[in-house]
């Protein structure tokens, strides 16, 4: 029995699974195979010929493409230059690595009913099934992972390298459900101003495809008022990276020329002239030829010497040293450390990644300074999260509408924590007490308090005052700074009010 038949048998044995049934239904609808780069409107990847057919196999990075050659940089577009430096330059690569590893964190998806703060449980279950279905393998053909976690990683990557993120909600051929979410390279998107609005296109000339469709989403990072393209946070580092490469090449040449001691061989011309035959001495042409021959003989002799050979020569040749560290033999003409430090600081600023994140924390930095740098860095991560959350909230809301459910999806990333588990629990305790106090004062209701505290609706409509007890320390007293959330603690009642 073949591999595909084994998979199909496995799925037939799991017919009671709603997710498997849903996945199989989607695959049956995709009998014509929805393209990886598009759905109802086929988006065009940049390596195709403009019609949708790849003119060759998908290119891979080669050593030649990664060569940091200044002449190659002059012929590259900005997106291609960014992609090349990400693969080849250590600082750019490490900065992107940190953005992706820290940025692609856990998330929460909540659905609320229209014009209501109540959670829409049925819609949330549908989205959970949709996300689980995207993780399922395709048992009929090869298919790259379409996991939502991978989509989020690609959207964050687009925001860092392109300054924008684009996504298409790919529908099934019958337009009755969502097949998958397809990120689109924002570098391939061009906006045109038509009838007072921005209209996105992909491709050039007659091959351009209009993406003026409700299933396409595009968001720029830090957009200007009249510019929808957004800004890449690392684009300002390119000029300093290129300058650094030029400086490194210059330093390489200086080190090669001045950093190592070399022999300085001086040939005493007066001695050679005294030994020159008289018949040649009076002929200028023969004289120069004879001198060049003697010079070539000496050069060839010393070039053939092994490192451990002993120098044996006539007194017509003097041997000295040049280069190296000692004063008599020359030495480094410049100290590149200060120059490289200044360049590194400018690159860190351009990459929006501070010294603590890049592992260049100096001995003069304190722990408080490092924490401040990390907090500033996390604020930058939050700005990227906000754009991704906006796109996915709208895309998932559209997925609900296509499925016949009216709700508002709130996609939110969990905060990135730099505190220890003990510190998190201590702050969580204070948060719960403050929420309970706000609820008891009538500032928020039980639903708001529960969702803010644990992320879901309350189990009880009202607190169970009979069994709710305040937090006590070892001496049986309420710690200073906490709130007694039980108004009936200790059995005391207010007889005048009956409470």
CB of 187 closer than 8 Å to CB of 193: no
1 in a domain, yes or no? no
Q: How far apart are CA 243 and CA 146, in angstroms?
A: 39
The secondary structure of 292-312 as a DSSP string is HHHHHHHHHHHHT--TTPPP-
193 in a domain, yes or no? yes
- Return mean pLDDT, the chain: 75
**Strands 216-220 and 262-267: what pairing?**
unpaired
Q: Is the pLDDT of residue 444 over 80?
A: yes
Do 414 and 431 lie in one domain? The reply is no
362 pLDDT band (50/70/90 cuts)? low
Predicted confidence at residue 144, as pLDDT, reads 84
Length of the chain: 499
Q: Is the pLDDT of residue 284 over 90?
A: no
Q: Is the pLDDT of residue 445 over 80?
A: yes
Q: Which helix (H) or strand (E) element contains residue 434?
A: helix 421-440
Terminal C-alpha separation, the chain: 75
Last residue of a domain, one of 396, 418, 440: 418
Do 83 and 224 lie in one domain? The reply is yes
Give ∠ CA 254-318-300 in degrees, rounded to 5: 70
Using alpha carbons, list the distances in angstroms from residue 373 to 213, 356, 370, 413.
42, 7, 5, 21
Q: Which structural domain, as residue segments, surrounds residue 210?
A: 18-51+63-234+351-418
Do 156 and 292 lie in one domain? The reply is no
209 in a domain, yes or no? yes
Return the minimum-mean-pLDDT range out of 47-56, 265-274, 388-397: 47-56
Give ∠ CA 102-448-429 in degrees, rounded to 5: 60
311 in a domain, yes or no? yes
Highest mean pLDDT among 86-95, 183-192, 252-261: 183-192
Tally of domains within the chain: 3
Last residue of a domain, one of 418, 444, 471: 418
Strands (E), 213-324: 216-220, 262-267, 317-322
Highest mean pLDDT among 192-201, 208-217, 385-394, 471-480: 385-394
Q: How far apart are CA 462 and CA 109, in angstroms?
A: 25
Do 373 and 468 lie in one domain? The reply is no
Q: What are phi and psi of 298, to 5 degrees?
A: -70, -45
Q: Which helix (H) or strand (E) element contains residue 110?
A: strand 107-113
Do 214 and 152 lie in one domain? The reply is yes
Do 155 and 197 lie in one domain? The reply is yes
Last residue of a domain, one of 359, 384, 418: 418
Kindly report whether the global pTM for this prediction surpasses the value 0.75: no
Q: What are phi and psi of 141, to 5 degrees?
A: -160, 170
Predicted confidence at residue 272, as pLDDT, reads 73
Q: How far apart are CA 39 and CA 447, in angstroms?
A: 40
Q: How far apart are CA 326 and CA 322, in angstroms?
A: 9
CB of 329 closer than 8 Å to CB of 321: yes
Do 30 and 103 lie in one domain? The reply is yes
Q: How far apart are CA 170 and CA 29, in angstroms?
A: 13
11 in a domain, yes or no? no
344 in a domain, yes or no? no
143 in a domain, yes or no? yes
Do 314 and 445 lie in one domain? The reply is no
Do 202 and 320 lie in one domain? The reply is no
Do 148 and 217 lie in one domain? The reply is yes
114 in a domain, yes or no? yes
Do 295 and 433 lie in one domain? The reply is no
Q: Which helix (H) or strand (E) element contains residue 109?
A: strand 107-113
Q: Is the pLDDT of residue 409 over 90?
A: yes
Q: Who wins on pLDDT, 3 or 258?
A: 258
> What is the token pair recorded at 109?
């998806």
87 pLDDT band (50/70/90 cuts)? confident
**Predicted confidence (pLDDT) per residue in 446-470, tens digit:** 889 998 898 888 888 777 666 665 5
Strands (E), 172-297: 178-184, 189-194, 197-202, 209-210, 216-220, 262-267
Do 409 and 437 lie in one domain? The reply is no
> What is the token pair recorded at 49?
């010929």
């Amino acid at each position: 029995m073949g591999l595909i038949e084994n998979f199909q048998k496995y799925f037939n044995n799991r017919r009671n699974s709603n997710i498997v049934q849903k996945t199989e239904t989607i695959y049956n609808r995709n009998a014509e195979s929805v393209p990886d780069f598009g759905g109802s409107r086929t988006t065009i990847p940049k390596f195709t010929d403009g019609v949708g057919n790849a003119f060759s196999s998908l290119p891979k990075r080669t050593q030649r493409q990664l060569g940091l050659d200044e002449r190659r940089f002059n012929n590259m577009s900005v997106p291609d230059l960014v992609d090349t430096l990400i693969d080849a330059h250590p600082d750019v690569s490490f900065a992107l690595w940190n953005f992706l590893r820290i940025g692609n964190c856990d998330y929460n998806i909540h659905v609320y009913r229209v014009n209501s703060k109540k959670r829409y449980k049925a819609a949330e279950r549908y989205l959970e099934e949709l996300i689980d279905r995207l993780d399922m393998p395709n048992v009929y053909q090869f298919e790259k992972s379409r996991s939502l976690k991978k989509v989020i990683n690609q959207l964050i990557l687009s925001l860092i390298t392109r300054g924008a993120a684009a996504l298409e909600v790919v529908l099934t051929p019958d337009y009755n459900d969502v097949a998958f979410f397809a990120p689109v390279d924002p570098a391939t998107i061009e906006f045109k101003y038509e009838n007072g609005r921005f209209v996105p296109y992909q491709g050039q000339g007659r091959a351009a495809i209009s993406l003026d469709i409700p299933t396409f989403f595009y968001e720029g990072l830090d957009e200007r008022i009249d510019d929808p393209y957004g800004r890449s946070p690392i684009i300002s580092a390119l000029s300093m990276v290129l300058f650094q490469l030029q400086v490194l090449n210059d330093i390489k040449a200086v080190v090669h020329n001045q950093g190592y001691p070399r022999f300085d061989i001086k040939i005493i011309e007066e001695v050679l002239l005294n030994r020159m035959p008289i018949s040649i001495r009076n002929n200028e042409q023969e004289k120069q030829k004879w001198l060049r021959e003697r010079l070539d003989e000496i050069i060839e002799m010393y070039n053939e010497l092994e490192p451990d050979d002993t120098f044996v020569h006539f007194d017509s040749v003097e041997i000295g040293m040049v280069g190296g560290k000692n004063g008599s033999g020359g030495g480094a003409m410049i100290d590149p450390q200060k120059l490289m430090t200044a360049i590194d600081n400018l690159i860190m600023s351009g990459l929006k990644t501070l010294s603590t994140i890049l592992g260049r924390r100096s001995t003069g930095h304190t722990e408080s300074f490092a924490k401040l740098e990390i907090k500033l860095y996390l604020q930058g991560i939050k700005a990227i999260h906000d754009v991704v959350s906006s796109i996915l909230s709208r895309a998932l809301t559209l997925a609900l509408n296509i499925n016949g459910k009216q709700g508002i999806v709130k996609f939110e990333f969990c905060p990135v924590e730099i505190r220890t588990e003990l510190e998190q629990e201590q702050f969580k305790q204070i948060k719960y007490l403050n929420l309970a106090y706000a609820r008891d004062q009538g500032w928020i209701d039980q639903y708001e308090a529960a969702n803010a505290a644990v992320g879901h609706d309350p189990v009880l409509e009202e607190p169970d005052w009979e069994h709710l007890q305040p937090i006590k320390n070892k001496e049986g007293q309420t710690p200073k700074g906490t709130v007694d959330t039980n108004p009936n603690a200790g059995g005391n009642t207010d007889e005048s009010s009956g409470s």
